[in-house]
């Protein structure tokens, strides 16, 4: 079984941590588009990594895939994410990524194969979602 998603997850977590040490308070408020700010994107990533962790645990314990979540969740949470204190968002995005990455690495290979076979690769490969938002942030934040 190809487990390159574990490596990609680690790479995006490392990238996230390198980015966070360069941000100042002003950077967190920068708009990245469509009403989103840097802090909102970070809180969003943390939220979805936590949701993914919960869904993986549910699948692992019940043996059944969890239901899909509605896309409206992002719209419903955006204002809360924008209002989150920057350092809380920075801490939470790293903690959530680390927690879900640990869970993914620890899952039984049979369950990982089942998740992929059922068409849920993003439950295992968190890198594309992280990369998407990290690129948005890097476009608007001047980094050294």
Please state the rounded mean pLDDT for residues 14-33: 96
Please state the rounded mean pLDDT for residues 11-26: 97
Dump pLDDT digits (tens) for 28-86: 999 999 999 999 999 999 999 999 999 999 999 999 988 877 677 888 899 999 999 99
pTM above 0.75, yes or no: yes
4-140 folds as 1.20.120
> What distance in Å separates the CA atoms of residue 83 and residue 43, rounded to the nearest whole number?
10
């Amino acid at each position: 079984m190809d487990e390159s998603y574990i490596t990609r997850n680690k790479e995006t977590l490392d990238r996230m941590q390198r980015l966070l040490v360069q941000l100042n308070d002003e950077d967190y408020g920068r708009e990245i588009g469509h009403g989103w700010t840097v802090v909102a994107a970070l809180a969003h990533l943390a939220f979805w990594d936590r949701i993914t962790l919960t869904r993986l645990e549910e699948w692992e314990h019940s043996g059944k895939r969890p239901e899909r979540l509605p896309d409206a969740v992002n719209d419903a949470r955006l204002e809360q994410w924008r209002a989150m204190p920057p350092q809380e968002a920075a801490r939470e995005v790293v903690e959530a990524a680390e927690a879900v990455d640990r869970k993914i690495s620890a899952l039984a290979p049979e369950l990982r194969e089942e998740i992929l076979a059922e068409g849920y690769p993003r439950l295992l490969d968190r890198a594309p979602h992280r990369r998407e938002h990290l690129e948005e942030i890097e476009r608007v934040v001047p980094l050294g």
